Every structure is written in structure tokens, then in C-alpha cells.
Amino acid sequence: MASGFSFLRTQFPGLEKTGEFAERYLYSDSNSCLFKLGLLCEDIVNKMFDFDNIAMPYQMKDTLVNKIRLLENEEYITEDLARIMHRLRLGGNEARHEGTDSLQKAKLLLPQAYSLCEWFMQVYGDYSYQHQEYHLPTEQAEAAFVETAKDKAEEARLRKQDNEKAQQAVPVPQQERRKANLQAANRRPKTEAETRCLIDEQLRQVGWEADTTVLRYSKGCRPAKGRNLAIAEWPTDKVPGNEEKGYADYALFIGEKLVGFIEAKKWDTDISSVISYQCKDYARAVRKCDAEYLLGQWQDFKVPFVFAANGRPYVQQLQIKSGIWFADLRQSGNMPRAMAGWPSPLGLKEMLQENTAEGNAALDALPYDFLQDENGLHLRDYQLKAVQAVDEAVRCGKRTALLAMATGTGKTRTVLGMIYRFLKAKRFKRILFLVDRNALGVQAQDVFKEVKLESLQTL
């Protein structure tokens, strides 16, 4: 079977040979596959330094991790390319020093190494090269592949040839190179597997245990007390329009309770519609044998929260294109929305404890008299109307409200009354009051400390 990396042969035969050996080791020796992928990444990084005559700052150690950081900081590579390089680097290190042997991880990293090589070819080799779909090699019944001394010598010779080519190249002006790198990076197709790696990293950053290659249902991973697990490929019953059983890409567990499903899609997939169909289907199709993990049922949904993600960053101006969409399924009126980042386990716990209906009812029943008390906040009529307008917006489920008030009209006192009502009705637990200058922060803090609200007490 021909190697998927054969497109490198004319420009970088050393990279082709290393990629080919990684493929041939995939099923028989995944440890060696991971080692070769780490070597492939190291070769690409070193060639970039040679091609563009990049020098390491004297205060930085000449290590692969520092080289990747420098390339990202100097904008030779984008954040997503840096992430791929770090994954390949870490996979190679684990294979070399810890004897890591993971077929699943190797299957996950091989397509990403291929994508990195395609990008490298388009920028540093053949500018006219066009993307070709990558297919993992199929498992062969033949004897396991083992490199001979001749194979190793040939790979070393070709790698040396690649290195000499990079060292002899005329450096391209930095701005020109950055522009070419960015253009090729933006064209680079990103797979669902790459998205999952990115989601793993993002979930770990906010406190979830996530690893698509290890924490999988098929590998025996199950919910456990005291752990916040994102378990990959959680099975569900059949979903409408599909005769086969479904698998949620991730099931989120706080301890032994199922709190959410995540559906991961390719980078170029618009996920705002995924949340309303596929995610909701999985939330309805929880198996009977998993009833012990359920917190309750809301209409026909057995999971309170669902997410869809494609790894793209959140953009306020283009929320429909943002990379994380969320829906709270506990009330039928809750609309899906874009999120700036993943909620932590604590964040989801707090959401579960919130009762929006009770909070709205308490807010509606709370009188406004104390806001106009002459011995307290003493709001004027227009200030009171502003508080009432925001109350109404919150009760109607709106997520934004704008009050336009001129200088000297008591904005801080108005917001103070609003904050106090929200906290007293337990509609919100925490509120961020943001100002754009230090002096305004000090002024607001003084108002919060000095102005009496009820029973001569300050906030």
C-alpha cells in the first residue's frame, strides 16, 4: 500500500520516509509510530529555522518546545499549528521515555501529522500543491514491520539531504513568509479528530478530566465519585432517522451524575444547528441501563445540558460562527447560544442549583419601596423606571439590556439598586460590575460601602 506521505517525495524525501515508517508501525508497534511522528515534527521545526535563518534568543534553551513557542510568538505558525506540533512532540516524548503504546493516540495523531506536512509543503516546498484527503492505513495480515539497518541508513541519508536543502536555501523576508504561512494555515482542512484534541485541551483547562484516547467508554471508563470526567464515545439508544445506536462524542459527569453531552464537529462545520437536532436527539436517547446516572427528566430530555463544538474561537460580532454552542434543556423556552468558553464542573453545578423560574417569581414579588426610601438609596423616578425595565428584560429571558444615562444622573446608584434586587431575589449569585477607569472603580466602591439600602445596612 502506498504511503499517504508520498506527496513529499520530490521536495522532502526524508520527511516522506519518516511518515511512511510511522504508518507502517501503526498497528504492529504504535509506540514506534508515535516516536516517528515526534521525529517528523522535530524535523519540520528544525527545517523552518534553517530555511528562514531563525536564531534562538540567547536566554532560551535550544529545545523543541522553545522553538515551537518562538515560531508561534514570531507568527511563523498559527495557534492551531502550534497545538499540533506540541501534540506530536509530547507523543514522541512519551513513546521515547515512558514507552507509551497507544493505537488510539497514534490513529489520532497520524492525520494531524499529515496535515502539518501538507501545510509545510505548501509554504516551504511546492506552492502549487493541492490538498489531498488522508486515509489511515488498513491493518494488514502480513508480518509486523521492523526497520532493518538498511532502512535506518536510508532514512538518515534522506533526512540529511532535506536538512542540507533547508540550510542552503535563501531566506525569505519575514513578512512575506508570515503572509504565506498564514494563507496556507487558513486553507488547511481541520478534521473532527483534531477538533477532539482541541476540545480535550480546553476541557482540561477548566477542570474536567478529558482524553479522547484513554477516557473512552469502550476502554471501560465509567463515572466515579470525586471525579469530573468527560468520557468519550458514550453509547445511546437509536436516534430518529438512524437505525444504528448513537454515540455522544463526550458525556460529562460530575461524580456519578450525567450533566451533559458534547457533540464535536469539523472546524468548518457551523454548529448552531447541530445543537438543536443531533445534540437533542442524544439527550432523549439515554439508555435505560444508564438510569442510575440521571439527575432527572425535563420533558423528554434526560440530560440537562448539551454542547456542540468545532474548535473555532468565540467572536462576539459573529456569534453564529463561534466554536461552542450551548443549550439548557430544562426549560422549553431556553434558546441555544454561543459561549466564550467551556464551563467548569463548578460552573455547571451552580447552574444546576439555579432555579430561574423561582428567581424570576421572587424578583417579580419583591417591592420597589426600599429603593426610594429617603434614608436609603432614594432613587428618582427615572432611575426606578430604569431598574424596572431591566427587571422585566431579565424575567423575559433577554440576555442583554442597555441603559443610556448622561453624566451626573446617578448611574452607579441605579445599578446598585439593580444589583441588590437581583441578589436579594436570588436571581443571580454573582454580579460583575465593570468600569473603564480606576477612578470610577474607587467611586463605585465608595458608593457600595456608604449608601444604605435596607435597615440602614449597606450592600
Across the chain, which has 459 residues, the per-10-residue mean pLDDT values are 89 95 92 95 95 87 93 92 95 84 88 96 92 87 73 91 91 89 89 88 96 92 96 87 75 97 87 86 94 94 94 79 89 86 94 83 84 80 91 86 88 88 86 88 85 74
Please say which residue of 338, 353, 368 terminates a domain. 353
**CATH code assigned at 234:** 3.90.1570.30
Residues 402 and 386: beta-carbon distance below 8 Å: no
Whether residues 119 and 155 fall in one domain: yes
Which residue shows C-alpha cell 440602614? 456
pLDDT at residue 141 in the model = 45
Say which amino acid occupies 434: L
Q: Is residue 457 part of a domain?
A: no
Please say which residue of 335, 353, 371 terminates a domain. 353
Q: Is residue 414 part of a domain?
A: yes
| Own/partner long-range contacts of 255-258 (Cβ < 8 Å, ≥24 apart) | 255/223, 255/224, 255/225, 255/226, 255/227, 255/228, 256/223, 256/224, 256/225, 256/292, 256/293, 257/223, 257/293, 257/294, 257/295, 258/223, 258/286, 258/290, 258/293, 258/294, 258/295, 258/302, 258/303
Residues 263 and 274: beta-carbon distance below 8 Å: yes
Whether residues 396 and 300 fall in one domain: no
* Cell numbers standing for residue 178: 508570515
Whether residues 34 and 130 fall in one domain: yes
Whether residues 163 and 214 fall in one domain: no
Residues 229 and 212: beta-carbon distance below 8 Å: no
Q: Is residue 459 part of a domain?
A: no
**Cα–Cα distance, 37 to 177 (Å, whole number):** 25
> Got the DSSP string for 98-114?
T----HHHHHHHHHHHH
> Got the DSSP string for 263-331?
EE--TT---TTGGGTHHHHHHH---GGGGGG----BTTBS-SEEEEE-SPPP-GGGGGG-SEEEEETTS
Instruction: Fill in the DSSP letter of residue 143.
Output: P
Q: Is residue 365 part of a domain?
A: yes
Can you give the C-alpha Rg of the chain in angstroms?
28
Please say which residue of 311, 327, 353 terminates a domain. 353
Say which amino acid occupies 116: L
> First CA to last CA across the chain, in angstroms?
73
Split into its structural domains, the chain has a count of 3
Please, is 172 exposed, middle or buried when counting C-beta atoms within 10 Å of its C-beta (0-12, 13-18, 19+)? middle
Residues 35 and 95: beta-carbon distance below 8 Å: yes
Q: Is residue 302 part of a domain?
A: yes
Whether residues 184 and 211 fall in one domain: no
pLDDT at residue 45 in the model = 96
**Cα–Cα distance, 378 to 380 (Å, whole number):** 7
* Cell numbers standing for residue 76: 511563523
Whether residues 149 and 242 fall in one domain: no
* Cell numbers standing for residue 357: 423560574
Vertex 436: Cα angle to 430 and 439 (nearest 5): 100
Residue 248's DSSP bridge partners are: 234
* Cell numbers standing for residue 74: 514570531
> Got the DSSP string for 389-437?
HHHHHHHTT-S-------TTS-HHHHHHHHHHHHHHTTS-S------SS
Does residue 3 sit in helix, strand or coil?
A: coil
Q: Is residue 76 part of a domain?
A: yes
pLDDT at residue 411 in the model = 87
Q: Is residue 226 part of a domain?
A: yes
Whether residues 48 and 123 fall in one domain: yes
- pTM across the whole model: 0.78
Residues 274 and 307: beta-carbon distance below 8 Å: no
Whether residues 335 and 373 fall in one domain: no
Whether residues 180 and 210 fall in one domain: no
Q: Is residue 254 part of a domain?
A: yes
Whether residues 43 and 78 fall in one domain: yes
Neighbours of 119 (CB within 10 A): 23
Q: Which domain covers residue 428, as residue numbers?
A: 357-450
Whether residues 222 and 143 fall in one domain: no
Buried b (16+ CB within 10 A) or exposed e, 343-369: bebeebeebbeeebeebbeebeebeee
* Cell numbers standing for residue 412: 452607579
pLDDT at residue 23 in the model = 94
pLDDT at residue 241 in the model = 62
Whether residues 370 and 233 fall in one domain: no
